[in-house]
Amino acid sequence: MNVGPSFLRTREGAEAISTAAPTIDLREEREMALQTEAKKLAEEALASSWTPGVFPVDPIAIAADLGVNVYSAFIGEDVSGMLRQEPGGVPEIFLDAYEPPVRRRFSCAHELGHFIRHASGDQAIAFVDYRGPKAKNGTDPEEVFANAFAANLLMPPKVRGRPLGLEARERL
Ligand SMILES: [Zn+2]
């Protein structure tokens, strides 16, 4: 949407515009774009680093394949995961050692989402994900993207909605 300088007029002018212009909500459109991009990048990561049919999807193995070191770490009781990379350095994900494995899997996939969105190699990256009252708002674009990436990574679309046990039995 191109809002040129002609819109930046006097207070009276601005009021005239705000009553004349229809109000539209771009938030849903923006969120859809983030979801679509996250799904695409998760599918690319799966295509290059995952053997179809092998469950559960292992985000730590996928991270390793992408050159990201993953650690189980003591990072504070209100932190579920962290991602950091110095310019040109090795990216690192830290997962709360006290979290149960299923939560750590999701946290790893989530941090990997932050990495994939920002991985250019020449910029420092730093994310800290809190849980509880300090957790970031779920409408933060970074978090919407990382959560959507994690969901798509851990549950590839072709098997979504089907019990994983059935998959296992079909392979026997
Ligand atoms: Zn996050």
pLDDT exceeds cutoff 90 at 72 = yes
- What one-letter code names the amino acid at 110? H
DSSP-derived 3-state class of residue 127: strand
Q: Where is 104: in which H helix or E strand?
A: helix 101-118
Q: What is the pTM of this model?
A: 0.78
CA–centroid distance, 152 to ligand 1, in Å, is 15
Mean pLDDT for all residues in the chain: 84
CA–centroid distance, 119 to ligand 1, in Å, is 15
CA–centroid distance, 11 to ligand 1, in Å, is 39
CA–centroid distance, 25 to ligand 1, in Å, is 25
Residue pair 99/80 in contact (Cβ under 8 Å)? The answer is yes
CA–centroid distance, 129 to ligand 1, in Å, is 5
**Greatest mean pLDDT among 34-38, 86-90, 123-127:** 34-38
The Cα 150–Cα 119 span in angstroms is: 16
Domain with residues 32-171, CATH architecture: Orthogonal Bundle (1.10)
DSSP-derived 3-state class of residue 82: strand
Task: Look at residue 168 in the predicted model and tell me its pLDDT.
Answer: 47
The Cα 109–Cα 152 span in angstroms is: 9
* Peptide bond between residue 59 and the one before it cis (omega within 30 degrees of 0): no
Task: Look at residue 84 in the predicted model and tell me its pLDDT.
Answer: 96
DSSP-derived 3-state class of residue 93: strand
Mean pLDDT to the nearest integer, 70-93: 94
Confidence band, pLDDT 50/70/90 cuts, at residue 142: very high
CA–centroid distance, 128 to ligand 1, in Å, is 7
Residue pair 130/78 in contact (Cβ under 8 Å)? The answer is yes
CA–centroid distance, 153 to ligand 1, in Å, is 15
Confidence band, pLDDT 50/70/90 cuts, at residue 23: confident
Task: Look at residue 15 in the predicted model and tell me its pLDDT.
Answer: 58
